[in-house]
Structure 1
Amino acid sequence: MIPGEKRKGEEKREEPHHLAAWALGGGQVRYSVPEEAKAGTVVGRLAQDLGLEAGEPEARRLRLVAQGRRASVEVSGASGALVVSSRLDREELCGKSAPCALRLEVLVERPLRVFHVELEVTDINDNAPLFPVNEEAFTVAEMSLPGSRFPLEGASDADVGANAQLSYTLSPSEHFRLDHQGNNDQSTSLALVLTKSLDRETMAEHRLVLTASDGGRPSLTGTMELVISVLDANDNAPQFNQSVYKVKALEGSELGTLLISLSARDLDEGINSDVIYLFSKRVAAKVKEIFTIDENKGEIRLQGKLDYEEMDSYEITIEARDKGSPPLSGHCKVLVEVLDVNDNAPEVWVTSLSVPVPEDAAVGTVVALLSVSDRDSGANGRVRCAVWPAAPFGLVATFAGSYSLVLREALDRERVSEYEVEVRAEDGGAPALRASRGVRVPVSDVNDNAPAFAQAVYTVLARENNAAGAELARLWARDPDEAGNGRVSYSVAEGVGGGAVAGGGWRAASSYVSVDAESGRLWALQPLDYEEVQVLQFEVRAVDAGEPPLCGNATVQLCVVDENDNAPALLPAAGGGPGGGAVVAKIRAVDADSGYNAWLRYELWEPRGKGPFRVGLYSGEVSTARALEEADGPRQRLVIVVRDHGEPARSATATLSVSLVEGAEAALGGAAAAAAAATNVWLVVAICAVSSLFLLAVVLYGASRWAPRAAVLSGPGPATLVCASEVGSWSYSQRQSRSLCVAEGAGKSDLMGVLPGLPAPLSTT
């Protein structure tokens, strides 16, 4: 677009000093700026052309990335305009290449976006034509005929286009004129033509000024002085059969390779027709390093390495000189075209990298920007790219030689925390050359995993009367997230769970236990009393430190194990009548403990020896051991000790006074004895029934004694509150007692055999 024109949908606007023009199309922004523009010159309103308003934060975050060459332009942070930052010299940037286009990439961060800008640096006529030398001297035979041509080395102009189109003029001369011809090869033929025969005796030397003018506006000129010496004799110069020879050679060809054999003809005879071949003295030293010419045969061979990427063509001026006196010369040009071979592997650069990538990043997120190039040309320089491994990332071509590394699949840091991605490039040569670039992509954590306990239900055994602050168990929940997202704190869920207490009622678990927030250590707030509560059920909650936090729960069933902390308590004894082996009384006692701690036995402490009475070891029934005698006296005092089976055992003492009665009641005493005997039989049966439970209780007791802290039991299946004591539950039942008539109809309580207690499941609601 020409400066001053308007884009579709916009009003006409003027560019500063008419130095820049812009256009939008093909997915990129293009500008042009003349070389040598002053620093600060506005090339274009980049932010506005990209749809960004100047002054917005997004416009101020524009960042320029040049591909390969120094850009010499920058983005103004205040206005978002593209301005010249340093001297722009088209000849330095592109040489004779036209057009001279710089590829730029403009990045906008958060979110990351890339725009492509092409900046064309246009030529101005800032280079005057330049001849190889200021003065060129040559000789012309006196016998030269009019029309004879003498090749001249033309001038060169570093500019391009019309600014480099040269025209030549010669200072006035009656003997010489200038012949300047061009051809389709864009090479020129410049020669001095003799128009009138020379007379050395009249003028032995001619001095002419050759002027070269370029096509710029205004035009610039360069001059060279021609010094022509007129000689006699050898009046025929060697002549090549063509003025320009074209040769093609593969880059990397072996040293010594023959490129061309030149031949020039000289019409003179004798020594004046002997020709030698030389590089023109105007040939650059670099050309002489790569090529050599055989002086006698005219063979041009390689003596240096051809590199297409360094120079794709050479122009060599060859002189054929005879051996006359003075010698005469003919000239030709050899144009060597260097053919490209696939000797350059692709190159891959990471121009921008946005890591780490959050594990919850959306598919399509741009992770990195890549630039790929190959110095070769044609198919040898066409590059294909791929990423390995193929998942979870992929490549998207954004512009010629530019790619975006994007996310193709969802990430999971807990599965893979870091990826080593390799971007592989392959050119189209035969054989193809390859290159690769590794990109490390770490994955950052997000809080997507809740803490999880190893078990849904924990069963904990704790002995009663444990000290306040005693450790009961340690709970642990796993959270695979990292840092704060995986840092877990523990607590007892408020208002959830508890236990039934003796005498009815309900108490919250938080009044009995607490859990350490960091370690998950479950400890007692107060001593536990089996006689108060046997089972506590509550929830422990594990919460991580993520944002938002996630939590997990586990149910804890705390079973209190009974200790022998209650001595037997005596109840009023029942009386009976005398008789042989008759039950005269029954000692009744209860123990608040359970299991073996509440299993009572009775011993007759006084009188010692062979007294008239005995006491049942487990029944507490006092009966006659023999027939009563007058020597025994009318009243007996018995001391009976009641002990439990705890460790250590606890006891209580009962004193019983027995008064003798007359024989009418003896029969009743015999009936009572028979009933007592039947009761003892059933007692033995009950004891045998729980013997297996006794063995199980011993094992559990030993485990609890050797464990460093209360055991945590668990197993598969639904959670059921089943808490057994170490030795089963043996106790005297008062609520289910029944009376037996003894002697005068006195009552007694039965000894009840009870299997280990199975408390009803506690509600968790």
Structure 2
Amino acid sequence: MTVASRPSGQKTRCLLLSLLLLSAWKVGSGQVHYSVSEEAKHGTFVGRIAQDLGLELEELVPRLFRVASKDRRELLEVNLQNGILFVNSRIDREELCGRSAMCSIHLEVIVDKPLQVFHVEVEVKDINDNPPVFPATQKNLFISESRAPDSHFPLEGASDADVGDNAVLYYRLSPSEYFSLDVPTTDEQVKPLGLVLKKSLDREVASKLLLVLKAMDRGKPELTGTVELRITVLDVNDNAPVFDKTVYRVRLLENASNGTLIIRLNASDLDEGSNSKILYYFATDVSPNIESSFCIDSVSGEIKVRGKVDFEEVKLYKIQVEAVDKGNPPMFGHCTVLIDVLDVNDNAPELVVTSLSLPVQEDAPLGTVIALITVSDRDSGTNGQVTCFLTAHTPFKLVSTFKNYYSLVLENALDRESVSVYQLVVTARDAGLSSLSATASVSVEVADVNDNAPAFAQPEYTVFMKENNPPGSHIFTVSARDADAQENALVSYSLVERRVGERALSSYVSVHAESGKVYALQSLDHEELELLQFQVSARDAGVPPLGSNVTLHVFVLDENDNAPALLPSGSGSTGGAVSELVPRTVGAGHVVAKVRAVDADSGYNAWLSYEIQPAAGGARSPFRVGLYTGEVSTTRTLEEADATRQRLLVLVKDHGEPPLEATATVLVSLVESGQTLKTSSRVSSGVVGTETALVDVNVYLIIAICAVSSLFVLTLLLYTALRCSAPPQEGACGPGKPELVCSSAVGSWSSYSQQRQQKVYSEEGPKTDLMAFSPSVPPSSCSANNGDQEESCRNLISSIVSNYLT
């Protein structure tokens, strides 16, 4: 037994230990043999060493069972629990034993009490884990093309670190028409491995050859190693320059800047020396367009951009290039360069409106084609793919009818009165990466159809006009607006004929067909016609024509054109004179006669007042007349000095401007009481009774007249306030209400009252006439469509109330 070397400081101890072990060695010690494959994994079972050595498992620990190895590496280990020897770390046979045919690991197993030493040998079996290896991965060979066939070129073989069949090699050469492999058949390999030339080389055909030599072992699995054989064939100068390709095809973006490299040409000359140096030129017959756009470097063969390159002008350039060597005489090579110009999105779409169907009728059916639009883009591919769209919120749409053709189609109904002209913007946008767009404006005019009737500002108007107007006077102007256009908006006016009493309306008024002015054809008389109500029709010139009507209320205002008319006062009256017998005994206040008169006018114009004209000479008359009753009565007791016959002139006046008057004569005869007692009694009785009755009736009538007038004023106030408080519509005080206007012939406001003549009768017949009247209104300006209508209405109300109260 040999002991592994240790440091010098431990030699003494090791020697003593060895002597002790030798002294305790038992005669029955033996050797155990195991085997394990290299590269076995950790924990791989090797053998049951405790059992094979005849040791009990229980005594392994107490007897200090341990394993020692000569190389001090713990490649193998024993499990003290079960006594199994196992692989502890990686075992590499080539590292342990190199190329030795046999490789083993020697172990010493030592136990104490008593001391025993066992020798264990573990054989490491080889596996094919090493491929064949050549001295280099590449070998260069230089062979002249003049070498004869069957020439031999030696090669160095491969080596394999394994042993046995794993290290037995055989070789294989890649297929070649020029070379074959010469492999030795004996193990000694006296004759080296080499290449054999099968046929003559031609450098112009194959100047360089690449062969692969493969070495393979016979292990399982089989492993291989390779070496590249690079063979260079030495040349004889006998060839012209040759380009890599006869046709080069490259792509170039349009609009490339000057100096942009397109391609670097490469021509080769199989010769050597100056005969292989090459210069590059464009062919002599190249077009001027190519020379203006491109240039070539004669030394490097680089073709670059020199001018403008536009895809839309030229999409493909075909250039002939020559390669010339420096031999004498020079030799030429040729190639063709095809330059495909790639499109760049540098052209915006173009829009063309090819046809228009304008204007468009506003009642055109949906789907009507308005215009045809053509779009185009000089670019190609996605750069030339164009889509069109319209501005939003229009009653039109674009319909694609064919590639790059669109129809402008009516999508929603039109209304010229809302929009008469549409300014459409058609936008075309391409699909390029940086998209470009173009726009075109299309003006679509909507043609009018007669779908709107003329419309008046309000359904009816109220017009006030003074009577006695001159024939042909302008009453009012009606105006209707038609939302249509041209002939469809040309409005003409006419009367809606009807009967006014026994006569036709057209005998009273007329309307101008174009201006809408209403004229009075004759002088109107308030006493005959207080209200003239009629309709004016407005018709447009469309086909078919449309129309509407408006109602006019023309109130004829009274003027003071009738003087008071005297009425008969009884049996004693003749014409305008009244004869009465009055006893001298009557006292003051005795009614002796009554003057009766009527006025055909109305209102203030019919309000009569009475007064006695002073007698000639300034004598004071014993009689007076009631201001508004017309009753002639005594002012004092009659005296003897009073003349027997009294002639009284009673002046009857109205309140018009200017006032009109009439004169009544009252003849009073003074008699004695005895002479005319019977007659006087009868007359006095009748007069007193009549006088009392007339006084009572007049009081009640005045009260009734005042009440009716007050009610009328209040009604007018309420009516006007309601009209003025409503929202104004086109200058009217209230929607749908009659408008208070003035005739141009009158020129000022005038009160209008519905007058009713109240006739009072007594036993002797009509005694007096009382008028229900409305106070006259001061003049004030007004207009049918005046913006100050509300203020005018308020002024009118205030004026009416103030005049009435006075």
Same fold per superposition (TM over 0.5): yes
Is the Cα–Cα contact under 8 Å of residues 234 and 327 in structure 1 kept in the other structure?
no
Match of 1:379 in 2: 382
SS at match of 1:536: strand
Which of 555, 558, 561 aligns to 1:559? It is 555
Matched, 1:523 2:515: no
Give 1:753 shift: 4.8
Shift of 1:660: 3.1
Aligned residue for 1:543? 539
Show the counterpart of 2:781. none
How far did 1:541 drift? Answer: 0.7
Deviations 1:76-113 (A, max 9, x none): xxxxxxxxxxxxxxxxxxxxxxxxxxxxxxxxxxxxxx
- Who is 2:758 aligned against? 733
Residue in 2 that maps onto 1:253: 256
User: Cα–Cα, structure 1 residues 756 and 249, in superposed 2: closer, same or farther, change >3 Å?
Assistant: same
Q: Which amino acid aligns with 1:296?
A: V
On the 8 A contact 1:586/1:748 being kept in 2, the answer is no
Q: Describe the shift of the 1:289–1:629 C-alpha distance in structure 2 as closer, same or farther (beyond 3 A).
A: same
Tell me the amino acid that sits aligned with residue 565 of structure 1: D
Separation of aligned partners in 2, 1:476 and 1:720? 14
Q: Which amino acid aligns with 1:637?
A: R
Measure, in 2, the Cα distance between the counterparts of 1:547 and 1:684.
62
SS at match of 2:758: coil
Which region of structure 1 is more displaced relative to structure 2, 317-326 or 523-532? Answer: 317-326
Residues 441 and 673 from structure 1, CA distance in 2 versus in 1: closer, same or farther, beyond 3 angstroms? closer
Could you tell me how far apart the structure 1 residues matched to 2:398 and 2:291 are? 47
Deviation at 1:677?
Answer: 5.2
Q: Residue type of the partner of 1:512?
A: Y
Contact 1:739 1:747 in 2 (8 A): yes
After superposition, the Cα gap between the structure-2 partners of 1:559 and 1:256, relative to the gap in structure 1 and judged at 3 Å, is same
Amino acid in structure 2 at the alignment position of 1:555: T
Give ranges in structure 1 of 5+ residues lacking alignment. 1-232, 500-504, 700-711, 741-745, 758-765
Once the two structures are superposed, residues 653-710 of structure 1 have per-residue CA deviations (whole angstroms, 9 ceiling, x without a partner) of: 11111233554547746666655655665576567658879999999xxxxxxxxxxx
Contact 1:696 1:726 in 2 (8 A): no
Shift of 1:747: 5.2
Match of 1:754 among 772, 779, 782: 772
Q: Deviations over 1:548-591 (max 9, x none)?
A: 21111101111111111111111111477652211111111111
Match of 1:533 among 490, 510, 529: 529
AA paired with 1:644? D
Q: Deviations over 1:400-448 (max 9, x none)?
A: 1111111112222222221111111111111211111111112222222
- Report if the CA contact (8 A) 1:314-1:335 is conserved: yes
State the Cα distance separating 1:240 from its structure 2 match.
1.9
The Cα RMSD (Å) is 3.2
Provide the C-alpha distance between the structure 2 equivalents of 1:729 and 1:488, rounded to a whole number of angstroms. Answer: 36
* Counterpart in the other structure of 1:488: 491
Report the AA paired with residue 459 of structure 2. Answer: A
Partners of 2:568 and 2:268 in 1: CA distance: 156
Contact 1:397 1:404 in 2 (8 A): yes
Residue 570 of structure 1 pairs with residue 570 of structure 2: no
Aligned to 2:609: 601
1:464 aligned residue = 467
Kept after mapping to 1: 8 A contact 2:464/2:740: no
- Asked whether the equivalents of residues 352 and 373 of structure 2 are also in contact (C-alpha less than 8 Å), the reply is yes
Q: Does 1:582 align with 2:585?
A: no
Q: TM-score, normalised on structure 2? A: 0.57
Match of 2:6 in 1: none
Alpha carbons of structure 1 residues 283 and 698: separation in structure 2 relative to 1, 3 Å: closer
Q: What SS class does the counterpart of residue 733 from structure 1 fall into?
A: strand
Please tell me whether Structure 1 or Structure 2 has the larger radius of gyration of its CA atoms.
Answer: 2
Q: 1:288 corresponds to which residue? A: 291
Partner of 2:330: 327
Query: 1:714/1:250 Cα in 2 relative to 1: closer, same or farther (>3 Å)?
Result: closer
- 3-state SS of the aligned residue for 1:630? coil
Query: Percent of pairs identical after alignment?
Result: 55
Amino acid in the other structure paired with 1:726: S
> Aligned equivalents of 2:353 and 2:625: distance in 1?
100
Q: Using a 3 Å threshold, how does the CA distance of structure 1 residues 268 and 613 change in structure 2: closer, same or farther?
A: same
One-letter amino acid matched to 2:551: T
Q: Does structure 1 retain, via aligned residues, the 8 Å contact 2:261–2:302?
A: yes
Partner of 1:514: 510
For the residues of structure 2 that align with 1:389 and 1:547, how far apart are their CA atoms?
34
Amino acid at match of 2:751: E
| Partner AA of 1:552 in structure 2 | S
Q: Secondary structure at the match of 1:255?
A: coil
Report the CA distance between 1:379 and its aligned residue: 1.5
Moved more, 394-403 or 333-342: 333-342
Distance 1:632 1:344 in 2: 129
Distance in 2, matches of 1:307 and 1:294, equals 23
Letter in 2 for 1:471: H
Shift of 1:265: 2.1
Q: What is the distance in 2 between the residues matched to 1:547 and 1:584?
A: 79
Letter in 1 for 2:639: E
Provide the C-alpha distance between the structure 2 equivalents of 1:263 and 1:721, rounded to a whole number of angstroms.
Answer: 106
Cross-structure match for 1:450: 453
State the number of aligned residues: 499
Distance 1:716 1:264 in 2: 101
CA gap of 1:564–1:671, structure 2 versus 1, over 3 A, is: same
One of 624, 632, 655 as aligned partner of 2:634: 624
* Cα 1:541–1:687 shift into 2, 3 Å: closer
CA distance in 2, matches of 1:697, 1:601: 29
Distance in 1 between residues matched to 2:529 and 2:439, nearest whole Å? 72
Aligned to 2:670: 660
1:636 is the counterpart of 2:646: yes
Partner of 1:363: 366
- Residue deviations 1:216-248, cap 9 Å, x none? xxxxxxxxxxxxxxxxx9843112232222212
Provide closer, same or farther for how the CA distance between residues 584 and 751 of structure 1 changes in structure 2, counting only shifts above 3 A: same
1:416 aligns with 2:419: yes
TM-score, normalising length: structure 1: 0.60
Partner of residue 242, structure 1:
245
**Is the Cα–Cα contact under 8 Å of residues 458 and 735 in structure 2 kept in the other structure?**
no
- Classify the secondary structure of the residue corresponding to 1:611: coil
Identify if the C-alpha distance between structure 1 residues 627 and 554 changes in structure 2 by more than 3 Å, giving closer, same or farther: same
Correspondence for 1:397 among 400, 410, 420: 400
Q: What is the one-letter code of the residue matched to 2:651?
A: V
Match of 1:338 in 2: 341
* Aligned equivalents of 2:463, 2:732: Cα separation in 1: 6
Superposed, which structure 2 residues align to 1:711-730 within 5 Å?
715-716=734-735, 726=751, 728=753
Whether the aligned pair in 2 keeps the contact of 1:260 and 1:300 (CA below 8 Å) is yes
Following the alignment from structure 2 to structure 1, what is the Cα–Cα distance between the partners of residues 439 and 278? Answer: 56
Q: Distance in 2 between matches of 1:421 and 1:378?
A: 29
- Name the structure 2 match of 1:268: 271
Measure, in 2, the Cα distance between the counterparts of 1:490 and 1:626. 71
Q: Which residue of 2 aligns with 1:613?
A: 623
Q: Structure 2: how far apart are the matches of 1:672 and 1:749?
A: 9
- Could you give the per-residue CA deviations for residues 627-663 of structure 1, whole angstroms, max 9, x where no partner exists? 1122223332211111111111111111111233554
* SS of structure 1 residue aligned to 2:488: helix
For structure 2, the 5+ residue unaligned runs are 1-235, 573-579, 718-730, 743-748, 776-806
Relative to structure 1, is the Cα distance of residues 714 and 628 closer, same or farther in structure 2, using a 3 angstrom cutoff?
same
| 2: CA distance, partners of 1:589 / 1:731 | 16
Cα pair 2:646 2:668 within 8 Å, conserved: yes
Counterpart residue identity of residue 767, structure 2: S
SS of the equivalent of 1:376 reads: coil
CA distance in 2, matches of 1:298, 1:694: 117
